[in-house]
Structures are given as C-alpha cells and as structure tokens.
Structure 1
Amino acid sequence: MTTPATANPTGACAPATLPALCDLVHYRGKQGLCTPRAAIVVATVDSLDPRGVESGAVPALDSAEHVHLWVFGPGSAGFAEFNTPRGEAPDGEAPTASTIPPGTWCRPPSHHLKEPPMQKPSAGRIVLFAVDPRMNGGVDHAPAVITQVWNDNLINLQVFPNANDTRSQLRTSVPLHETREDAEAVQSTGLPYAAWWPPRV
C-alpha cells in the first residue's frame, strides 16, 4: 500500500504517517466550522475487531487512513465519529482544521514535518571533522571536541583521528554546518575544511 503524502509548512510534500491507536489529532466538524476539536483515535484498521464489524456492533473502516474518533469539546463529554478520513489540504498548504474538508481529521501542527532547528555549539560538544582517510583508518571524517566558540557557525576543535600513531589535532576557525551535505555544498572539490553535527538518531 502506498503511503499518502502531506504538505509541510514550507509547501513540500512528505510521506504521511498512518494513524495509530490513541493518536491525538484535530477534527473538523461536518458543519464546516474551522475551529479545531481535539480527538483521539479509538480504532484503526489494525485495531478494529472484525467480529464486531461482522455483527454490526461497529462500522467498518474504508482504508488505513480512516479511523474511528472520540471527539472532545469544551463543556461536553465528547462524541464519537466513525469512519473518518484523513483530510487533504489544497496544494502547497499544510493540513489544519481550517484547510481540510469538513468531517475529516489531521495531525496537530507540531506533527507536520519541518526542518529541525540548527543546533548551537558550545565547548565540550562533539562534532565531526573532515580528515585525510589515510590518517584515519580509511575513514574521511573523525570526531572532534569543540574547544572554542566564535559564533554559531565558527569554532575551534580538537580532532581525534582513529590511528595509533596520530595525536589529537587542534583546528582553528572551522566553519560549522548542520550536515555534511551542507559543508560539501560550500566546497565542491576535495575534503571541506569544515565540521558538522553527527546525524540525529
């Protein structure tokens, strides 16, 4: 099954995660009011008991994007909405309670995919630094400790190559980037004189 795409705040499309039991989502009422209501996913295609569907105790779900919801509202205990589809926003817009069709759900804004904020350097933090692979066990980058911060994008480093006969090396005024790709984009040939943050895991 193909995972649908959803728009992020920058307008780019990214894969949408399938709903899961107990997910908190926003629901737009069938009357079309743009005020979002908080809702919790109480059934998905993976959690729905087929025996309940066969007996008529609970409605079936049309797809993996359809869910049964319990919708909350101020001053009320809430109500059930069955077989509710994920709402699609117009092209280039993020799905919110004001952009999705009535009677649909979407993720809260904090769930829309977006670039993580640039990390800020400080003394003692670990980054990666480009090195000659011949001096580093065949690998072209080595861990380094930040020893001095000039600004958010310029640092001094103590580099630790992976070689028995190589001592740590001081490097000064090293440009700091968010990723290796960012560093290589600045210097397209050869090893960049640059550091970058280890990948987020």
Structure 2
Amino acid sequence: MRALASRLRRLPPSCGPVRLIGVDGHAGSGKSTFAGRLAAALGEAEVLHLDDIASHDELFDWTGRLREQVIEPLGRGETAHYTPYDWRTRAFGPPRALPPAPVILVEGVGAGRRAVRPWLAALLWMESPPEAAWAQGRARDGAEQREFWDGWVPAEREHFGRDPSRPHADLLVHRRQEGYEVVDGPAGEGRTGPDAHAQ
C-alpha cells in the first residue's frame, strides 16, 4: 500500500492543484475499505464517498452536483463544499468542507464514469465479479436494505452497460487474504509510473 501511495503522489495534478484518484467497482466490492486504507497510507488523505453525492432519486444522475460542488471549486484551488445525503432521512445535510489537498480519493460506483474521468489523475478498479460483490453488499446491509438492493442491481447493470469504468482503469485492485494486489489495468500501461505491482 505504501508503494501505491508513493506512486499516486508522483502523478501530475488533475483538478487544479489536486490529484483526484477514482476508486470504482461494483457495489459491495470493498471500495470503501480499500479507500480508507489507501487514505491512511497517503497520510490521512481525504476520501469523498459518492454515496454522499448520490441520492435515492438520483442513483447515478449526480454528475452535475459533483461538478458544481466539488470539481469546479477544487479546480480553482478553493475549498469545496458539498451537501452529504442521508440515506435514512432521505435528505441532504449541511455543507461539508473539502479543502484542496495533494491527493483526494473519490470512492464509489461510477467514480470512473465518462463525465468524471477528465479530472482524474488515475482510476483504480476493484476486481470482483458483480454477483459476488452484490451478495457481499446484501449480506453487509441486511434485510433492512433488501428493497433498496432489489432496485440497485438493475440500475447498476444499466449504468455500467452504458458507461463502463473498468476498460479505463489504470490499475486493478485484487483483494487477497492478506492485503491487496494492485496490477496494471486496461488503460494503465505505465501511466501511473513504475512499480506496476504492489501490495
């Protein structure tokens, strides 16, 4: 993880002074856990969870909100302020500050979508078959979220069918019994620098 963090720090900024790193993959594939560990390796880097940008009414139609609240201010070197969504109360909360930093991780399904990629310094994809990831997500969320998952799965299938992220991933992340293995992705081919394999 330290080798990966070092490699990401060496990338050129992609959004004003910030290196935005996308962490994408199927729901339930372990993106949040991986992003948290990578953030720690980066020295407690900020993680923007796309669950805070999306909503029940806009599972994937959140690109405009992300651009206006986060990408545009960071691109100007300013502190961004986004309104995190509460999935229990179904309402957006008070603004949360996201100051520009050398590296910010953007984690969530669709982090590598077509409309976001121009501002990413690198895109990481969590390698997991969709059915396995969804099963893990359902087990994690329990019966309380069964109805949500019944609607989410076809929505995710449709999203990635129209706007796939994996073909544009610079790095693929494989979960192992101990840690992770990170290898070049379909779009990687050296774009993220040396040390193509890291754990």
Larger fraction in helix: 2
Task: Please state which band the TM-score falls in when normalised by the shorter chain.
Answer: under 0.3
**Quick one: higher RCO (CA 8 Å, sep 6+), 1 or 2?**
2
Larger fraction in strand: 1
TM-score by length of 2: 0.24
Greater radius of gyration (CA): 1
